[in-house]
Amino acid sequence: MKIFTSKQIAEIDAFTIAHEPIASIDLMERAAEQLFSWIKKRYSEEQSFQIFVGPGNNGGDGLALARLLSKTKFKVEVYLVKVSKNLSVDCQVNLDRLRSQNLVSISEISTSHDFPVIFDDSVDVDALLGSGLSRPLDGLLKDLVLYLNTSKAELVAIDIPSGLFGEDNSLNNLHHCVRADYTLSFQFPKLSFLFPENVDCVGNWQVLPIGLHSRIIDEMESPYQLVDENDIKKRLKKRGRFSHKGIYGHGLLISGSYGKMGAAILASKAALRSGIGLLSTHIPRLGYDIMQTAVPESMVSIDRSDIIFTEYPDLESFEAIGIGPGIDTKQNSFRALEELFEECDKPLVLDADALNIMGQNPQLKDNLPKGCVLTPHVKEFERLVGSCSDSFDRNMKQRDFSKKQSVVMVLKGAFSAITDQNGRCYFNSTGNPGMATAGSGDVLTGIILSLLSQGYPSLDAALIGVYVHGLAGDMAADELGQEALIAGDLVEYLPKAWKKLRE
């Protein structure tokens, strides 16, 4: 699913009105019907609602919703906030329609003395401001939002929590934005929903389709996409009946050091559970018995060092290389990594200590093999590019980095962001907080190495890898709970996750 800016959504909206064609007031009605049907499914019939309405079309949605609710057993009160003399045309039409029906009490809020009592068991609907927000909230609206945020009532935001911008909130004060339990966003999520600092404002968000015109949605360019299961399925290659292990590639995993052999085991198992034909794991000598016992399916290549990575085998026979999990960051490892960058013309995935070595030796950045995949978490990322003021800033820097260095980068976290050489950004939709556990990243490296070895292009390997990793995590958390989840469980659930993608 593409993600558009608020400005683009307004264009899509206008195109739909002109080309469906549909009157804007009817499009608003369609949006309100979607809100109404979400509410009907979620709340019991006697539920009371307090709807807070602003001057624009977001307020218009709230008024249309109030009318639909008033025709049922739901109890509704409307509060119209007087922040401007004029209402938008469709907001005014809906106010007139609601007034003429005379079923709902409509009060005006002109000062903070007009704020109503909010009962804990009521549901507040935030229809104050939507995607037309033009500046951070202040004055009466800010005070009202702060007041609503202190209440215990459930809070449902229409389209976007009031006060939150759809994209960049770096100059905003998030304490002055609505803190919703649910956000019901029309047709698309907003970019800001995918950034962790906004989660307390957005709550659980859902997308409600309102039938915006498919032609403009297809044609309009956006660098942002939220990746779903269908997008992933389309990128999967068929596995032929007459195939043999040679077809699925031979991967080299450079991993492990004294005290960190677990990383090599997890990454190796994950690679083997993700369709690779052959795997060789390059480890320091001390890890020999450990690897041969724990992962008999992998061949082993032994470093001359007993305890760290200092060299790598001839790359000729490998389709792809993965390096980083548990290799440590010693000087000898830096030299070996530097050499690898110079020599390697194979697909490559870099993680963990390989990224930390780069963080300590920034000149390595400019030698990165083109098209390689980097999989940092936030701290590793900032060691590479410097500190970032917030997630929006970080996202811009990630897109720039991918473009400038011509690499694919996976920034791990909730909604992991995958950026490509063209500066596009794909957000992953699987995964859960239970996966923030030791070794989880090693599993991802193994999966991506496996896919690169099978001949998937870097971007596909990153997108599919991150998706299936999150899916295995979701399946594991469903059965085991998030607290108990450990990285080994991700490997255990990979078969089920792959099976689901192949259904």
- Using rule CB under 6 A, residue 267 touches ligand NPW: no
Distance CA 144, CA 50 (A): 13
DSSP state, residue 196 = G
Residue matched to tokens 């906030």: 81
**Residue 322, amino acid:** G
C-beta separation of 121 from 89 below 8 A: no
Fill in the per-residue mask, 182 to 221: x = in contact with ligand NPW (CB under 6 A), - = not in contact.
Answer: ----x-----------------------x-x---------
Q: Which stretch binds ligand NPW (CB under 6 A): 48-56, 242-250, 327-335, 449-457?
A: 48-56
Measured from the CB of residue 415, what is the shortest distance to ligand NPW in angstroms?
A: 21
- Using rule CB under 6 A, residue 29 touches ligand NPW: no
- Using rule CB under 5 A, residue 395 touches K ion: no
Select from 72, 84, 112, 360 the one that contacts ligand NPW (CB under 6 A): 84
Select from 3, 27, 216, 452 the one that contacts ligand NPW (CB under 6 A): 27
Phi, psi of 58 (to 5 degrees): -60, -45
Fill in the per-residue mask, 25 to 54: x = in contact with K ion (CB under 5 A), - = not in contact.
Answer: ------------------------------
- Using rule CB under 5 A, residue 126 touches K ion: yes
Say which entry of ligand NPW, K ion, none residue 13 contacts (CB below 5 to 8 A, set by partner kind).
ligand NPW
Q: Is 196 annotated as a binding residue?
A: no
Q: Is 263 annotated as a binding residue?
A: yes
DSSP string across 55-95? SSHHHHHHHHHHHHHHTSS-EEEEEEE-SSS---HHHHHHH
Q: Is 135 annotated as a binding residue?
A: yes
DSSP string across 157-184? EESS-TT--SS--TTS-GGGS---SEEE
Characterise 30 by phi-psi region: left (phi > 0), alpha (psi -120 to 50), beta (else). alpha
Angle, CA 476 vertex, CA 475 and CA 481 arms, to 5°: 115
Beta bridge partners of 442: none
Q: Is 326 annotated as a binding residue?
A: yes
- Using rule CB under 6 A, residue 459 touches ligand NPW: no
Q: Is 416 annotated as a binding residue?
A: yes
Fill in the per-residue mask, 136 to 155: x = in contact with ligand NPW (CB under 6 A), - = not in contact.
Answer: -x---x--------------
Say which entry of K ion, ligand NPW, none residue 126 contacts (CB below 5 to 8 A, set by partner kind).
K ion
Strands 250-254 and 278-283: parallel
The binding site for K(+) comprises 58, 126, 162
The binding site comprises 57-61, 126, 130-136, 159, 162, 263, 326, 377, 412-416, 441-442
